[in-house]
Every structure is written in structure tokens, then in C-alpha cells.
Amino acid sequence: MSKMSFFWVCSILLLIATGGRAEDAILFNRDIRPILSEHCFQCHGPDKNKRKADLRLDNREAALRKEAFVPCNASQSELVKRVLSNDPEAVMPPESAHKPLNAAQKELLKKWIDRGAEYQPHWAYINPVRPAVPGVKREGWENNPIDAFILSALQARKMKPSPEADRQRLIRRVYLDLIGLPPTPEQVQKFVEDNDPKAYEKVVDSLLASPHFGERMAIPWLDLVRFTDTVGYHGDQNQRIFPYRDYVIEAFNKNKPFDEFTREQLAGDLLPNPTEEQLIASGYNRLNMMTREGGAQPKEYLTKYQADRVRTTSITWLGSTFGCAECHDHKYDPITAKDFYSFSAFFADLRQWGVYSDYNYTPNPDLKGWSNDHPFPPELEVKNTYLTKQMELARDRANHQIHLSFEKSKSDAALAAKFNRWVEENTKKTFVWQTPAPTEGKDFKIKDSGQIVFTGKAVKGGSQTLEYRPQPGWVTTIRLEALPSAEHKNTITRDGAATALIQVTFALKNKEGKETKLGIQAGRADRYEIIRWASTVPFIGLDKGQWRTAAGAFEQAQSAYWLLEKPVYLKEGDELLVTLKSDNLGSARVSLSPLDNVYDDIDSELGNPFKTLNNEHRQELGEKVYRLFLKGTGADPESFKVYREAMQICHEMNRGKAWTQVSVATTPITTRVLPRGNFLDETGPIVEPAVPSFLPQIKKVGDSKRLNRLDLANWIVSPENPLTARVLMNRLWKQFFGTGISAVMEDVGAQGEWPSHPELLDWLAVEFRESGWDVKRMVKLIALSATYRQDSKARAEYREIDPNNRFLSYLPPRRLEAEFVRDNALEIAGLLNEEVGGPSVKPYQPEGYYANIQFPDRRYVADTDLKQYRRGIYMHWQRTFLHPMLANFDAPSREECTASRNNANTPQQALTLLNDPSFVEAARVLAEKLLASDAVSDDARIQWLYHRALARSATEKEVQSLRKFLATQKHYYLDNPEEAKKLIHTGIAPLNAKVDAVELATWSSVCRVILNLHEVITRY
């Protein structure tokens, strides 16, 4: 008979002996292990280095060898004698431990020993087996197996579940839990009036299909993997990683099986022919904190990075505190220091730097010249859905504006005349680029093709102004080519350097000699080197007239294009002045075009557009030809301005691509056990990658194969691993019920908690695994359960039996997470920008909050467009200076893996809701909507607000209270009209100038109160 079979037989016999009452049985995992773990294991547990008297109480055989107890005879057991002793020299735990046992615990130990002192393998380390669903019944209550397990536990305690919540509360609940946003009054009303028995299930299905489902599910995952926009250590510089966040959101939206989700993050780069998506996912391994501090020791920080990955991976997937074994064997769980470093060895193949810079004491040639503004490689440029969509939307706006202008030209005689004249002037042209030769000058010679060869030596700060007299006509784009020349050894530089840095400026000089500077709108180059960075944002420099040629192509022609701020018309006799500042440029050529060759998106469809003007299809091409005209002349200033603004956004979207940190495998570094975690101590044994020795092992194929991250990922989601499915389902349970089935989210080990419903947790784990790791299926099971649909009113009659509502006689209310507190207010106000994905955004933040961030200095600039109203998941996450609103509502800094957020209730939270500009602005916009609604009387308006914010009607008491408050506020703002103006001008949202300032300020104050209600920020 196996040990497990023997255990279950003994357990059954014990239940029979106690009359079948589970609460009378003493189970080691539930009742005894927590006592020993809390009071004894620190000195008598798994850590051999700290073990006292060579006594080990976490192992029955070892305890019996040391005669710690005599099974079935507590009075003769040394353990009991020590626990009951009044002798300060003999009592255990010793007084110095400050962990005395209470009377109930002592009595429990005595009973356990008298009943045989049987041990059990720790519950979390036993592979879950699907238990039978209890056969309990309650008419009209059970919806699925979850309810049977809950009802069984309730009935065993003579408790009853609560009735179902009313429909208004239920729909608000499920919206907040599944997408993190409240329903609209219209959605509430539709659900309330829907008599279909499957009405609620239809709502659940629609929410599971919502793109906001992924945003809601992503937030706890981002806490676990410590996703941020900055690296944490020292200067806490920015990092480029937002596509990883988009990957997580999309994975939940597409219901990517969790086993795939796991493999792609831990080892996306090791999969056969990895896709771009899988490489983005591998950015998980790069989310640790990093440093480029001068003086930091590379070896020390590589050790930190590895340890961080062990802690994060073990908590995220295994719910285990491996970090406790970094310096010594774990004091409570069977995790050894060797296990810790063997686990660390899985990540030893990652390409990384201990210090992400090139200092004399730690040369990193790949990072030569890198500063605090540079990114943190390795990185990959990837296609991004959000950027692509924004680019397409901007292009659509530009095209629409061109169309409006074209239609306008049909009725605007002056504009039509300009268009016809432009067509006539360009009908004879057969070229797109005009390449004039400059006027003769010194220090350069001119070739027939317009090429200029500089003859002087390379001079620091060298400058040359070239004067051109091109044919009359429009100039929109100026091209500069850097050309190889025989005079300079067929390279583009005079001094043999690999690159040339060039600064260009342009001016127009008329016949009278007056010069006018020509501004630059934007620029691009076919090849270039990045000139400088600012917080990982590259400044290509072309927009500012700077261009550094590409180092790898100094023997090839390279071109840069500059779009002028406004197209300029060159008259007969006008000169174009081109000033080139460069130390070493060897040869160049300047060309001019009347077309926009920087924001170029349609011109290529026409081939040579000036030939097109001559052909018989000109009328058919009408709007496309007009497009060239408007882009090249700016003849319709208003349309031209809108077009340019839209195309600048399009330009900034970088072709819909973004850089992101990824995993790149390289030769693994040597991994040793570090005594006491000391990176300088190399006396410990070298270890190979391996999973913890007390868990089922990975089956190796051949002795020579070194295990890698893909092997680890496969093991984590293998049927043999008892932890992953349990840990994930326990975490999902907490997301909906406020507390996990086992309450300690980051530790299912000995210091964790015996599950309140162990059979339910096992059933969920097996269901999850056997469903193909289907996350949405498990969410739907929970959301449809009668347990979840219960009313949330506390049951006073069960307060003593179940003070913490662990057996769920009602649904526990929970405060919204920080991000959703803000989302909720913006959505209620109608301000929320619901776009999904993309770079992080910067909402309002106190001025000077970043004053103490250095290396480099940073100034926080809040967004001034619709990005201001994006969801909280996209807020810029600065590890060392987390946004005050997020911090006040208990969001973690994400310096470490966070499995469970704190849930504080502080005055700062109320002050945030009253005074943070985001909430003040939301209140003002909400008040504007209220005043524009059909609600006319004060009472009707209060009811309108309650339905919008809380999906219910206000009580008479609430109405009376707000009436009084309304009156006091109206009186105040009548006496202080300037204060009213100040209040209603908070934020960037447009203000309706027709609304009375006092009236708006008064109702804005009422809305501030509504948004500050505890009920508004709580899911019931």
C-alpha cells in the first residue's frame, strides 16, 4: 500500500472513530503543521545549518529517531514536556523566541500525539486528484460544482447561503470584476428588463468577449512579473518594454492556453522558429531591476538579477518562497540552497550585463559610449497593433482633410485658380527632383551631376554655405546626399572616419538680398546613426536638422530628406542658401522637390506625378493630383495645418513599430551555490539547471543535454507538477472573492494556510488543467456560480462561527484596485479613453514630484491630449516614485513580485479622490453632462447621478443630505465666483462656456462627493 493510500485509510478510520465529524478529526496539514511551522521549524526544521540539537520536527522519522515524541502517549513525549514546562531553561519555544503556544495549541499537540502523531505530505506538494462533487442539495441554488463544495461546507456548520443579489448590484458586480469598468445606466436597464433565463449568462459572455477583459486580467499578472516602465536601481531610468504588456492583454483576450502563455514567457526565444509574438513574450525574463550606476559591481548585480528571477518565477507559477533559500536552506519548506541556485541556473543563458554601460573598470564594448539615456539591450523592433492603428487613424484624418479641401476647391474660385495655376506650371515637368549646381565657391569643387567635393582638410566645427539658384517653383522637401568620392578614397568622409555628423540649415535670399530662415517640420534618412537619447527615446535628429550617417555604409551613398515647415515658392532670381556644418563630410549633393517626400504615403501610386498631369487620366485622378498640390503649396492653410498635424502623428508612430526588450540565449555563465548568498565566495559547488529536489523531476533525454528554460516551462505546466494549477486557481479565486481558498497568495508552503475548501481547490486545479488550461472557462464557472451571485450583505448571525466569511455565506465586498478606482471615475464621467494597448501615458501628477530623480534628471510632463484619459493599466510606472494616486490606493512599486496587494483604508485616499486633478476634472465633466441631461429638478439630478455612478436609486436620506450640501455649495460659490471659475477650469477637457459657472461649480462639488463615496470605489 502506498503512503498516500495508507494516509487516506487512516483518515477514514479516524473520521469513523470520531463519529464522522471532520471538525473533530486532527489533520496534520490543517491543524499541526501550522503550529510546528510557526513555533518550531525555525530551529528544528529543514535548514540544516540553523538546526538546534540536531532535532528535526518537519520529518516524522527524524523526529522519532531523536525521541521527540512517543506516538499514542503524549504524557511520555519530550515534545509535550517541553511545551508544558514552566522552567525557562527547558520550555519550548524558548522565551527568547517570543512565540509562546497558547493553551488550545498545547492541547491540540497532546491529542495529536495520543492519536498516533501521524504526519502527512504537505498538501500543496501532493498532485491534485479530482474529488467527487458533494451530493448536497439546496433547491434553486446550485449552478455548478463550485456551489456543491461551498454548500457542503456551509451545511456542515449549519449555515445557509445568501439569496442572489438584486439585478442592479449583480450587473455592476460582474462588470467591475470582469472588465474593471461599471455598466452604463442603459446596460443596467436592459439587463433588469431582460426576462430570458440566460440573461445573466449572456452578460458574462459579452464581458468575456470584451477587449477590456484582458486589461482587467492583466493587472494582477503585471504585479506578479513586476512590469514597469523603469529599471528601479540607482537612476531608475526608463526601459522599452510596453509591447510585453500588450502581449499579456492580448493573451487574456484571445484566451491563450495558460501552458502556452507560460512557455512563451519563460522561453519564447527557445521555441522552434519563434514568432515575433513569442519573442515579445520572452521579455518576461527582462523585467528584473537593472543598473548602470558607475561603481556598481557587475558580478554582484548579475547575482541579484538571477536571484530576482528565481523569486519571481517561483512565486508566480509555484506559489513558493524560494527566495528564503538564497543564503541558507529554507527554514520551513524542503527547499535547499542548492535547489535555489540550480533553479537560478535555468536563467544563466540570458544575454545581459551586470552594469549596462561601458566603464573602464567593467569594459562592455557592445555598450561603448552609452549613457544614462540609452536603452537596455538586447531589444527587438516589433510591429505594434496600437501604433499601427494610431498611424492608420492619423492617415485617415489627413486623407479626409485633403478630401474636404478638394471638395472646397470646387466652389472656392480663388483656391481653384491656385490649383489650376499649379497644374499648368508643372505640366511640362518630367522630374520629381531638381538638382541644381551651387554657385562657385572656395574649399569645394563642383561636378557635372551637381555633386560637391570638399577639398579642404577635415576641420572641427567646419561650416560651408552653398548658394543655389534653382528654377522657379515650389520647394517642399530638400534632399541631401552624402556621396563617396574618388578624392576621399571612395568614402563619404574626408578623414577616413566611419560616420559624418552633419547639421543643416536652410534660408531663402530674395533679389533684394533679404534672407528668410526656412524652418524644418520633419526629417528622415535611408541610413543613420542615432545621435542622442532622452530616457531611452531616440532623437534621430533629422527633425532638428542633424544627421549622422550610418557607420556600416561609409563607402555607399546615403540620403536624408527634410520637409520644410511651409512650402516655399522660389521666384526668378531667388537664392536658396544651404549651410552644412560638419567636421568631415567629404562630398554631397543637394536636390529640391515640390512634393512631400517625408510624410510620403500616396505619391508613389502616381509614379512620376508630373507625367500624370499630362495624360488623359488627369480628371480621373483628380483628388490624388489635388493632394500633391495641397501638400506642396499649403494653399488652403486650415486644411494644410490639419493635414500636417495628422501626418506628424503618423510620422511619430514609427511605421507602427516599437522597440522592446527580449530574451536572447547565449553561452550559460557558471552557476555556483553561494554560501550565505555572497557573490564573492566561490567555494560552493557548481550546479546545473534543475527543479527543486523534493518535487517530481524533469525527465532528461540523454546525460549530455543541459536543461534549459523551455524544459523548465514544460515542467511547470506538466501533469507531474502539483503546484501550478492549484496556485493559479487559488489566485483566481481571490480575484473574485477577496481571499484565496488558501489565504497566503505568495506561499502555499508550510508558512502558508491550510485551504478553507481543499477539495474545491483540487477540483478547480484539475478542471483547469484538463480543460486545456482554459482561463476564460474557469472565470465563467466562477462568475456563473450561485456562490458568486449571492448578496453581499454581511450575516450577523454567522459572525462568531465564521468571522472572516471564509465559508462564503455571502459575497465579500472588495475595494477596487488603484487603477480601477481611476478608471471607474473617468468612465462614470464619460471621459475614459477606451483604446487598448500601446505606450504608457502620463496623467496629471504634482509638479516637482520627480525632483529627486537623477542620472538623468527628469521632468514629468503630463499628456495634453486624449491619452490623459487612458486606463490606469497604461499609466507610467516609475518604480522609485510611483504615481501618488497609485501609491495611495496600494498599488505596488513592482520592485519585487507581488502576489497580493495591501488593502488599506486611509485619509490620503479620500483626499486623493477629492483633490487629484483627474478626479476633480471627472466631477466637473460629470456635472456638465448632468446639467445637459433631461433631469431638471435637484432631486431628479441626484437620482441621475446615483444611477450613473452606482446603478441604483438614491434613498430619501441620501437625497436629503445632498440637498443640504447642494445649498451650502451654491451659497459659497455665489459669494466666491472666482473660486467657482478656478474649480471648473481644472483639467484639459473642453469647458462649455454657455454653462453658468456658479451652477457648474455647485454641481461639480456634488459630483466630487459622489465620486468619493466608499460605495463608488467598492465592488459589492
* Residue 868 near residue 845, CB atoms below 8 Å: no
Can you say how many angstroms the Cα of residue 187 is from the centroid of all Cα atoms in its chain? 29
Question: Do 224 and 315 form a contact (C-beta atoms < 8 A)?
Answer: yes
- pLDDT number for residue 63: 81
In this predicted structure, what is the pLDDT of residue 612? 58
Nearest to 561 by CA among 619, 530, 522: 522
> Can you give the pLDDT at residue 7?
37
pLDDT at 619: 56
Q: Which parts of the chain have pLDDT scores under 70?
A: 1-24, 430, 540-541, 600-621, 702-704
Taking a C-beta distance cutoff of 8 angstroms, is the pair 846, 917 a contact?
Answer: no
Q: What is the pLDDT of residue 11?
A: 41
Q: Report pLDDT digits (tens) over 292-330.
A: 999 999 999 999 999 999 999 999 999 999 999 999 999
Measured CA to CA, the distance from residue 473 to residue 475 in angstroms comes to: 7
Give pLDDT tens digits for 878-890: 999 999 999 999 9
DSSP-derived 3-state class of residue 703: coil
Other residues' Cβ atoms within 10 Å of the Cβ of residue 519:
12
What is d(CA 107, CA 96) in angstroms, rounded to the nearest whole number? Answer: 22
CA torsion, points 963, 964, 969, 971, in degrees to nearest 10? 110
8 A C-beta contact, residue 790 and residue 810: yes
Q: Name every residue whose Cβ is closer than 8 Å to that of residue 368 and which is 6 or more positions away in sequence.
A: 358
* Cβ atoms of residues 785 and 763 within 8 Å: no
Model pLDDT, residue 604? 46
pLDDT of residue 8: 38
pLDDT at residue number 49: 76
Rounded Cα–Cα distance for residues 92 and 69 (Å): 14
In the prediction, which pLDDT does 223 show? 98
pLDDT at position 457: 83
Q: Which of 808, 819, 795 is nearest to 1017 (CA)?
A: 819
Residue matched to cell numbers 479565486:
733
> Which grid coordinates belong to 948?
450613473
Q: How many whole angstroms separate alpha carbon 763 and alpha carbon 730?
A: 11
**In this structure, are residues 410 and 403 in contact, taking their beta carbons and an 8 Å threshold?**
no
Report the pLDDT value the prediction gives residue 600, as an integer from 0 to 100: 66
Task: Assign 792 to helix, strand or coil.
Answer: coil
pTM of the model: 0.90
Quote the CA–CA distance of 535 and 858 in Å, as a whole number: 8
Q: What is the pLDDT of residues 349-365, one digit of tens each?
A: 999 999 999 999 999 99
With contact defined as beta carbons under 8 Å apart, do 453 and 487 qualify? yes
Q: How far is residue 755 from each of residues 203, 311, 626, 750, measured CA to CA in Å?
A: 31, 23, 72, 12
Work out the angle between the directed axes of helices 167-178 and 199-208 (0-180°, nearest 10). 20
The whole-angstrom separation of Cα 734 and Cα 143 is: 20
pLDDT at 19: 36
Q: What is the pLDDT of residue 15?
A: 39
CA-angle at 201, arms to 823 and 813, nearest 5°: 45
